[in-house]
Structure 1
Amino acid sequence: YQSLALTGASVSIVKYIRSTSSSQSNERMDITVKMPHVTVPKDDTYFCTKKLIPTGNYSTPGYTPHATQSVAHHMLLYACEIPGEENVQTWYCDGMAASSSTSGSLPHGSTCNSAATLVWAWAKDAPAFKLPKGVGFPVGPSTKLRYLVLQVHVKSMAKANAGGMENVWVTAHSTPVPQPKIAGIYISASSYETIKPNKTRNWDIVCNIYKDDIEMHPFAFRTHAHKLGVEVMGYRVRNEKWSLIGHKNPQLPEAFYKVKNTHLVIKKGDWLASRCVMHNFRNRVTMTGSKHTDEMCNFYIMYWTPRTKNTQSLATKECNNGYPWVHWRNYFTTLPKLPKY
């Protein structure tokens, strides 16, 4: 093998050549983005760490996580044009960006300061994930996405400071060979929700695809909620006909799961409808928020679209809405037969 030396200890890149006669298609680049040693000031701290991608362009068709849910509530990997902080290796980010009460010498910032693409997500001890053959997320100078930024939401300060942060990283399995299909992610997220004590309710999200002419071919989905989530589901709605993209109990490992309907296509004019079934077993009101004791309702769609001259990478698409303005029945005259859960 040939090792490529990089500044900083948080990223290592190894180029494997299977034989001296290997063609370029047999090369693989393993890019490991690792959280450096940090002192965690409190539970629910968000850290980001970055690394410049070496000269060259790559596609990332798979990811292997290294973390445990007892330490990390979630990990998100972004490809960014400009990271949230350019002058330091690690910083407090997103959920911590506006917090002035966080002690420590690290600065606060966003995850990315410009063009950004979410390329992978992990929670609850989810396993490794591999994209379908011929599909990948393009990264590198020609896409303007020159950095990989790993965001880690630390669940337990005590376990992290006892050595848990030394085992938090992700390996992006990459190739210099352009893939014929470009991967992207669409996120439906609840923007503001509450649930009263000892109640069950649905958190609905409805999004219309009206800006983009590209066709999205969903091949994987991911659900995300915290302790109160019972089931999360997502549909494509076209002319009042509902097509299930996927559903999952969010208390299971929060991996990307395969979409069973391989012929499903999302086009301009379609609707995306998501729902989180929440049961509040607590004796207090619970609201959406960035802490693991708050709640969230997210439905992720990972899709592919053909690579073209004008489509070199796909920015992450996101739709945020919810209670008290959004209910499925206010948008559609027909409702689906819900999956069993």
Structure 2
Amino acid sequence: MSFWLFLITVVCGGVNHSHGFADMPQPLAGTNTYQLRMPGAIATMDDDYICTAFKLDPEKEMFITQFRVEGTAERAHHMILSGCAGDMSDSSTPSWKCGSHGTGKVSCSGPTRILYAWAKNADGTRLPPSVGFRIGGTGKSRVKYLIIQVHYANKLPPGVRDYSGLDLEITSEPQKYIAGILLMLALPEIPPHQAVVNSDICCPIDVTVPIHIFAARVHAHGLGTVVTSYKYNPKTQATELIVKGNPQWPQAFYPTTREFAMTKGDEILMRCTYSSLGKNTFTYAGLSSSDEMCNVYMMYYTNADNGTEFQSCGYYCNDEQNRAYPADSIQPLPSNPMLEAYAIHGKMNHQLRTNSTISEEEPIIHVDHNKNEEDYQLKNQSQIEEQDTFQLASQVHHEHQTPEETTKQEQPLAMNVVPGKEETLNEKENKAAIKAANQDVTVKKKRREDHFWSILFFIRRFFS
């Protein structure tokens, strides 16, 4: 939507700001399409996080059935749509900075859960029939506000405002199933000059009502080469691939290899693989584009009456789980220059888009009704083809290692003292060197712990 169309919409009363927040706009004439936009946001620095919120009708329960993004990766590093199940504290402006502590100076009195996430010029997502994200109303949704968060990797030029956002297809017709998100996240620590570094997280499913995973989106930053998730059977140690994605491609929700019904006691293994060749410093988990992330967003449907609509998970894997990762989990998907270029340039490069195999429409997640079962079965029309022609890297760093083992290279080296040789260090110098090395390790450990709790605070504050 152009700036002038957006301005006309505001002037004509299409968006009413109350306490700094916009009321949910009316749908476009003759459609169920609701356009949510940033209100001319100004990113004044690199890695700026800016939020805006929309107040839902407290008397009208609705269901989101489709997401489309109005924006490009050249401006927005990523975009997240969340629901606030509570009241929002007042804001003096329609948008506000919200990177440091989730919603920043504006807070939600209740839980905030993810509804959708987008990056790298990904297409939108249409949910299966009879499935929707429940919002608004006085029922079980509890979502009173929709929050758009945009991460601007680079500050905007002087005088430039941003109107990125989402087009949502929303219906007031009750849906048989509600959609939800399972967020898996790890906090990677990546040494420099390594061909392969893994960050592993394991997730025991803890739900009273089964969930049915039908789509997933992977997320990592510039060092990420491949992200995989597996269903794991702790009794047999067998794994089955759920999703394998290249985080440098458009980060959309793609169909999983099949539909996975998950119940209490099932487990999921997640692995993010990175390459730090050519980098001279450690890379840690963080919110900036120069930091790294490790996420898999799994979209599922569940019972509308008593199902869970959002959950997050991330536990260190035990030895058995670490050994269960298939050897080819670190193999990147086949190179696709078109997708890699499209993730950067998107619609700006019309010739690229015309010549590529990327559909002009958003990926549709298809399901069929099963005559013998009430649940859905997933059709894998756009399943990514995997090849077995790749050879494993000759030197692999940290394969199947625990986070504790990841830091072994930081332990101080024992210095050999050989009496009678002038070129060796004397005992006093040796002790001083070891003491200095140990102090350096202590400082690094404290820095990692502070960083861990900072990231964990952000995740729990914004996505609890």
TM-score by length of 2: 0.62
Moved more, 140-149 or 224-233: 140-149
Give distance in 1, aligned partners of 2:108 and 2:229.
27
Is the CA contact (8 Å cut-off) linking 2:78 and 2:117 kept in structure 1? yes
Q: CA RMSD in A?
A: 2.4
Give distance in 2, aligned partners of 1:110 and 1:249.
34
After TM superposition, give the deviation of residue 46 of structure 1 in Å.
0.8
Q: Flag the structure with higher strand content.
A: 1
After TM superposition, give the deviation of residue 83 of structure 1 in Å.
5.7
Is the CA contact (8 Å cut-off) linking 2:67 and 2:168 kept in structure 1? yes
Against the structure 1 CA distance between its residues 84 and 283, is the aligned structure 2 distance closer, same or farther, given a 3 Å change threshold? Answer: farther
Is the CA contact (8 Å cut-off) linking 2:44 and 2:156 kept in structure 1? no
> Which deviations, in whole Å up to 9, do the C-alpha atoms of 1:157-196 show, x marking residues without a partner?
035x553613x111111000011111000011013x2111
Is the CA contact (8 Å cut-off) linking 1:4 and 1:15 kept in structure 2? no
Give distance in 1, aligned partners of 2:161 and 2:228.
33
Give distance in 2, aligned partners of 1:155 and 1:335.
33
- Identify which of structures 1 and 2 has the higher relative contact order when contacts are C-alpha pairs closer than 8 Å and 6+ apart: 1
Partner residue of 1:30 out of 29, 33, 37: 33
| 2:77 counterpart SS class | strand
Partner residue of 1:49 out of 52, 57, 78: 52
> Which deviations, in whole Å up to 9, do the C-alpha atoms of 1:90-115 show, x marking residues without a partner?
2221x3339xxxxxxxx933664412
- Segments of structure 2 that go 5 or more residues without pairing to the other structure are 1-11, 333-464
Against the structure 1 CA distance between its residues 226 and 113, is the aligned structure 2 distance closer, same or farther, given a 3 Å change threshold? Answer: farther
| AA of the residue aligned to 1:336 | P
Greater Rg by CA: 2
- What fraction of aligned residue pairs are identical, expressed as a percent? 29
After TM superposition, give the deviation of residue 45 of structure 1 in Å.
0.9
Is the CA contact (8 Å cut-off) linking 1:111 and 1:149 kept in structure 2? no
The corresponding residue for 2:27 is 14
The corresponding residue for 1:60 is 64
Partner residue of 1:69 out of 73, 84, 88: 73
- Segments of structure 1 that go 5 or more residues without pairing to the other structure are 18-27, 99-106
1:266 aligns with 2:283: no
Against the structure 1 CA distance between its residues 274 and 328, is the aligned structure 2 distance closer, same or farther, given a 3 Å change threshold? Answer: farther
| AA of the residue aligned to 2:172 | P
Q: What does 1:202-221 correspond to in 2, within 5 Å? A: 202-210=198-206, 212-221=207-216
Q: Flag the structure with higher helix content.
A: 2
After TM superposition, give the deviation of residue 137 of structure 1 in Å.
0.3
Partner residue of 2:166 out of 156, 164, 170: 170
Q: What does 1:80-95 correspond to in 2, within 5 Å? A: 80-82=84-86, 85-88=89-92, 89-93=94-98, 95=99
Is the CA contact (8 Å cut-off) linking 1:29 and 1:176 kept in structure 2? no
Give distance in 1, aligned partners of 2:105 and 2:205.
30
1:187 aligns with 2:183: yes
Q: What does 1:1-341 correspond to in 2, within 5 Å? A: 5-8=14-17, 12-14=25-27, 16-17=29-30, 29-54=32-57, 55-82=59-86, 85-88=89-92, 89-93=94-98, 95-97=99-101, 108-109=104-105, 112-141=108-137, 142=139, 143-159=141-157, 161=158, 163=160, 165-166=162-163, 168-191=164-187, 193-199=188-194, 200-210=196-206, 212-238=207-233, 239=235, 240-262=237-259, 264-281=260-277, 282-308=279-305, 310-311=306-307, 314-321=308-315, 326-327=316-317, 329-331=319-321, 334-336=324-326, 338=328, 340-341=331-332
TM-score by length of 1: 0.83
Q: How many residues align?
A: 308
